[in-house]
Amino acid sequence: MRILFFNYEYPPLGGGAANATLCILKEFSKIPDLDVDLVTASIGDEYELQKIGENIRIHRLPIGKNPRNLHFQSQKDLLVYAWKSYFFAKRLVAEAKKKNLEYDLTHSFFSVPCGFVSWLLKKKYDLPYIVSLRGSDVPGYSDRFKFIYVFLRPLIRFIWKNSDAVVSNSQGLKDLALQTDKKQKIDIIFNGIDIADFCPNEALRRRDKFIITPGASRITARKGLKYLIMAISTLVPKYPNIFLRIMGDGNEKESLIELAEKMNLQNHVQFVGRIPREETIPYYQEASLFVLPSFNEGMSNAMLEALASGLPIIATKTGGTEELVREGINGFTVKMKNADHLADKIEEIIKDRDLAEKMGNMSRLEAQKRGWKEVSEQYASLYGSIAKK
């Protein structure tokens, strides 16, 4: 099978969806009868071609990206990507035909702009397409796009309706998508996790500090980190060894730094900036607890990495939380925007080291069920069923 894949985010650009694409392509490279061209964005001014194995090609298109803001894609970035990726894809299709090759389908991460590009190609070449829902492309997911969703909702509904499959990465995200179109058929293929790289390492686990990590992700208001900082401030007088280490960059970072300073938490909250994914592993391994007080998630890659690293989990009920957190078994769920409830659950784990250890062991067992190999095989199977039709 020959697949044309679209995602404007690919490492170092983007966050969870970029990482998921990389991991899926690595597994696809091990499937000899699968040939994939990924069309994505570049942070430079030139076209770049990269390869994974012999059958995966990554085409990076220059879109005028600001290299100082890799996690955030502006409306201009998305429009330029949509325009350039469509015409580049037409060229790939034409070149394939000259070699007597045909693409079987296109696969788009995000309903817009990528799903729209897939629809244009279906209209022109009768190519089937799959849309993978990732979070912000689902109306209602992000407050930042609240106004834009009003205009995009009809287009998103149209793109889903004309697709050959719509795939969510969690039950929670599927439920949210059904609020836009309750008749839409939506499958679920969960995010995976690299359980070989992300694993517990007791030699790195700090005993002098109780380190909390929210994992590696964009620092945006949607992550609810200000409530975590507020919870830390109530716990510090009682537990002076508590320490919060935050990885990543984003438009909420400066306001969170100011909040931590205002609460005199400079010695208890550290912002370490953006860390390359392969270098984030020790940050999970040194921690005692993972906390994600997010307002909305799809299936959090950071939470999956924390599970694989053997950490107890505290998270709000959103996205894939209910699939990943078993109440009182490997963690706790907390109310959104409630620093007091968050502090209570953190304290419960601080006070009971045996409970923390048991929860961490159960998290690791949960992660072992969710390797990227299984995720990639599910997508490959879906490709095959659509190609046959």
Domain segments of the chain as ranges: 2-192+371-388, 210-367
Tell me what pLDDT residue 73 has.
Answer: 72
Quote the percentage of the chain above a pLDDT of 90: 77
Residue 203 phi, psi dihedral angles, 5° rounding:
-65, -25
How does the average pLDDT of the chain come out, rounded? 93
Does 210-367 match 2-192+371-388 at the fold level? Answer: yes
Give the tokens for residue 343. 């502090």
pTM: 0.81
Residue 218 or 160, more confident: 160
Tell me what pLDDT residue 217 has.
Answer: 86
Handedness of CA 300, 30, 114, 190 (dihedral sign): negative
Q: Please name the fold of domain 2-192+371-388.
A: Rossmann fold (3.40.50)
Handedness of CA 295, 24, 162, 74 (dihedral sign): positive
Q: Please name the fold of domain 210-367.
A: Rossmann fold (3.40.50)
Give the tokens for residue 210. 């109780």
Rounded (10°) angle between helices 372-388 and 16-28: 70
In the predicted structure, residue 364 carries a pLDDT above the cut 70: yes
As a whole number of angstroms, the distance between CA 139 and CA 94 comes to 35
Residues in a beta bridge with 42? 62
Tell me what pLDDT residue 276 has.
Answer: 86
Closest C-alpha to 41, from 31, 33, 72, 32: 72
As a whole number of angstroms, the distance between CA 22 and CA 11 comes to 7
Tell me what pLDDT residue 172 has.
Answer: 87
In the predicted structure, residue 186 carries a pLDDT above the cut 80: yes
In the predicted structure, residue 94 carries a pLDDT above the cut 90: yes
Mean pLDDT for 33-58 is 95
341 in Cβ contact with 320 (< 8 Å):
no
Handedness of CA 367, 373, 376, 381 (dihedral sign): negative
User: Which residue shows structure tokens 């959104």?
Assistant: 336
300 in Cβ contact with 323 (< 8 Å):
no
How many Cα atoms sit within 13 Å of 179 on the Cβ side?
10
- Name residues whose C-beta falls within 8 Å of residue 170's C-beta, 6 or more positions apart in sequence: 188, 190, 191, 297, 298, 299, 319, 320, 323
In the predicted structure, residue 371 carries a pLDDT above the cut 90: no
User: Which residue shows structure tokens 């012999």?
Assistant: 54
Mean pLDDT for 70-99 is 90
Q: Edge to edge, what strands does the sheet with 269-273 contain?
A: 269-273, 242-247, 210-213, 289-292, 313-316, 331-334
Tell me what pLDDT residue 136 has.
Answer: 87
Residue 233 or 218, more confident: 233
Q: Residue 71's pLDDT band (boundaries 50, 70, 90)? A: low
Instruction: Indicate the pairing of strand 56-62 with strand 48-52.
Output: antiparallel
Tell me what pLDDT residue 207 has.
Answer: 84
Give the tokens for residue 266. 């400079």
The model's pLDDT over 253-295, given as tens digits with 9 standing for 90+, comes to 999 999 999 999 999 999 999 898 889 999 999 999 999 999 9
92 in Cβ contact with 86 (< 8 Å):
no
In the predicted structure, residue 350 carries a pLDDT above the cut 70: yes
Helix (H) or strand (E) holding 38: strand 35-42
User: Which residue shows structure tokens 């702009």?
Assistant: 113
Residue 47, CA distances (Å) to 58, 84, 186, 328 in order: 10, 11, 35, 50
Helix (H, G, I), strand (E, B) or coil at 77: helix
Give the tokens for residue 366. 């949960």
Mean pLDDT for 355-360 is 96
In the predicted structure, residue 70 carries a pLDDT above the cut 80: no
In the predicted structure, residue 69 carries a pLDDT above the cut 70: no
In the predicted structure, residue 366 carries a pLDDT above the cut 70: yes
Closest C-alpha to 213, from 175, 170, 247: 247
In the predicted structure, residue 130 carries a pLDDT above the cut 90: yes
